[in-house]
């Protein structure tokens, strides 16, 4: 069994030679699927937190603009950071979704 790490993602190269290895591989696939599901849930929660924060800051920015005031520099910086962080988390979420789908396809092909 070979494990490779690619930007935090585990890729597995595995060849099954007997029933014991097949069973171990299937258990690993199921465990990996559970871990991926937990990671998805965590990342989705993080995206939700960032969306709420970004929404509040955008509303604050609109209010300042309507009132003819300048948007506070500290808030502008927060908005920039939140947007950047949300983008990074979204990329991670997309990666995990792709890996989870690939793992799911492998699970189905093994008949689990």
The domains of the chain, with CATH numbers, are 2-110 (1.10.287)
What are the pLDDT digits (tens) for 34-90?
999 999 999 999 999 999 999 999 999 999 999 999 999 999 999 999 999 999 999
**Dmax (CA) of the chain:** 73
The predicted structure's pLDDT at residue 10: 52
DSSP annotation of 2 reads E
Which helix (H) or strand (E) element contains residue 9? strand 9-13
């Amino acid at each position: 069994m070979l494990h490779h790490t690619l930007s935090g993602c585990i890729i597995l190269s595995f060849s099954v030679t007997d029933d014991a290895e097949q069973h171990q591989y299937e258990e690993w696939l199921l465990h990996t699927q559970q871990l991926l599901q937990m990671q998805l849930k965590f990342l989705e929660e993080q995206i939700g937190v960032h969306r709420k924060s970004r929404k509040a800051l955008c509303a604050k920015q609109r209010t300042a603009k309507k009132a003819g005031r300048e948007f506070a520099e500290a808030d502008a910086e927060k908005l920039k950071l939140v947007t950047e962080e949300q983008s990074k988390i979204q990329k991670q979420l997309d990666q995990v979704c792709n890996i989870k789908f690939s793992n799911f396809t492998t699970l189905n092909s093994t008949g689990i």
